[in-house]
Amino acid sequence: MQETYYLNETFYTGKAAWQILMQSSDKLIIVKFVAPHCGSCITLKPVLEQLATEYADRLHLVEIDMVEETELAIALGIRNAPTVVLFQQQQEQARIAGLKPKKQYLEMVQQAL
């Protein structure tokens, strides 16, 4: 069964959503790589969701479990959770590994806009 993705949404999960957005959307794509039982990942979630809501007309937020998607994580050089990667026009523009203050994520987005 093929999943349906709507490009006007802001929040997505999984590798398939990321791949479709990379090919089909002209918005910024923020990918948050997480791991099960990662406390920092849980702490970061509302921070990025608030940021994505504030910039909903300009970006998508995708959460990918790096344990379930090990091959993708390895291919992108993801070693720690959480790691946030910003893509623009199918190219990586910025990366933040580990839990950082909200200001750093905000600056990452603002610099790309």
Give the pLDDT score at 10.
74
Catalytic-residue membership of 41 = yes
Catalytic-residue membership of 101 = no
Q: Which of 41, 73, 96, 108 is catalytic?
A: 41
Taking residues 9-15, report their average pLDDT.
Answer: 79
Q: What does the pLDDT look like over 36-70, one tens digit per residue?
A: 999 999 999 999 999 999 999 999 999 999 999 99
Buried b / exposed e along 20-49 (16+ C-beta atoms within 10 A): bbbeebebbbbbbbbbeebeebeebeebbe
Residues present in the chain in total:
113
State the sign of the Cα–Cα–Cα–Cα dihedral 50, 38, 90, 1.
negative
- Structural domains in the chain? 11-112 (3.40.30.10)
Q: Which of 38, 51, 61, 99 is catalytic?
A: 38
Q: How much is the pTM?
A: 0.89
